[in-house]
Amino acid sequence: MDTAIVRPGINPQAGSSRGLSRLLLPAFAATMFMGPVAPAFSAVGIDIEIAPPPARVIVAPPPRPGFVWAPGYYRWDGHRHVWVDGHFIRERRGLHWVPEHWDEHHGRYHFVPGHWERG
């Protein structure tokens, strides 16, 4: 008659999952503490066949020291163009703000996010 050897605290079936959890838990915790790493803008790479409406004519507010005015623009929400109001952003010395805009090329419209350029 065969006798099974039982050792307290050792479960051969749970050993592989315990080892896996020892690897996954620290990796999961590390990603939670890293925070988001995606860029702040979400419209990169948008190409559509629907032209945006003409930009709204809005009088920009008076300048604020240390800030630049980023004018409003139309963003694409997956179904239609939606107006985004202009806002102030902190200036960056030696750089100028290039506002968000749409470039047309052969009947397709490509969204270009706002960005800073030297000069």
Identify the pLDDT of residue 41.
45
DSSP state of 78: S
Quick one: pLDDT at residue 39? 39
In a domain, 103, yes or no: yes
Task: Assign 27 a pLDDT band (cuts: 50, 70, 90).
Answer: low
Q: Within a domain: residue 97?
A: yes
Distance of CA 88 to CAs 17, 67, 104, Å? 52, 6, 27
Is there a domain that residue 15 lies in? no
Residue 64 lies in a domain: yes
Number of domains in the chain: 1
Encode pLDDT of 70-99 as tens digits.
999 999 999 999 999 999 999 999 999 999
User: Which residue range forms the structural domain that includes residue 88?
Assistant: 47-118
The answer to whether position 65 is within a domain reads yes
Going by the DSSP 8-state scheme, the letter that residue 40 receives in this structure is S
Pairwise CA distance, residues 70 & 77, whole Å: 20
Per-residue pLDDT reduced to its tens digit, 93-119: 999 999 999 999 999 999 999 999 998
In a domain, 17, yes or no: no
7: pLDDT confidence band, cut at 50, 70 and 90? low
Residue 83 belongs to some domain of the structure: yes
Residue pLDDT, tens place only, 30-68: 544 444 433 344 445 789 999 999 989 999 999 999 999
